[in-house]
Amino acid sequence: MLWIKQIVNGLIEMYGTRDVYELLNYLEVTLMRKELFKNEKGRFFRDMFGNETIFISNNLSEEEEKIVIAHELGHLILHTDLNTSFYTKNHLINKNKLEMEANRFAAELLIPDDVEIYENETISQLACRLNVTEDLIKLKFRKEA
């Protein structure tokens, strides 16, 4: 999924940041925190006028919130033909192509290419240090076939 890495790098270069909150501002995407359905962590909505809103559960940790926002930004940027998407508790095990692309977008956005990996550092330790999930670490560094 080299094309996703290229899109993310272009976005970072254009706006000079990989911070999800700054990107929301630059892209004029509204963020709303609210109580969502039971297993739902986030969703995005694009109306018929092109206005875009990301809704996130108000029960998320700071780390989880950034990951959900990055994932939903992935849908907004990569899947321009979608009007809505849902981010649920088990999103990373969802093998749907669009969900995998949004997950890859989040991994590329949240984890810099030049991140230093310490000798004998485990995936779990790296994920903890970068405040991301182990699944995003695995996606970021997975070798493409």
**CATH classification of the domain holding 17:** 1.10.10.2910
The confidence score (pLDDT) of residue 29 equals 96
Tens of pLDDT along the chain (145 residues)?
Answer: 789 999 999 999 999 999 999 999 999 999 999 888 777 888 888 888 889 999 999 989 999 999 999 999 999 999 877 665 554 455 444 458 888 899 999 999 999 999 999 999 999 999 999 999 999 999 998 866 4
Give the number of domains in the chain. 1
Rounded to 5 degrees, φ, ψ at 85 are -155, 155
The confidence score (pLDDT) of residue 37 equals 76
Q: Which of 72, 99, 101, 108 is catalytic?
A: 72
Record the tokens describing residue 134, joined without a space: 């182990």
The confidence score (pLDDT) of residue 95 equals 55
The confidence score (pLDDT) of residue 94 equals 45
The confidence score (pLDDT) of residue 83 equals 62
The confidence score (pLDDT) of residue 93 equals 44
User: Residue 71's domain spans which residues?
Assistant: 2-141
The confidence score (pLDDT) of residue 73 equals 95
Residue 72 annotated in active site? yes
| DSSP codes, the chain | -HHHHHHHHHHHHHHT---HHHHHHHTTEEEEEE---TTEEEEEEE-TT--EEEEEETT--HHHHHHHHHHHHHHHHH-TT-SEEEEETTGGG---HHHHHHHHHHHHHHS-TT----TT--HHHHHHHHTS-HHHHHHHHPPP-
The confidence score (pLDDT) of residue 42 equals 87
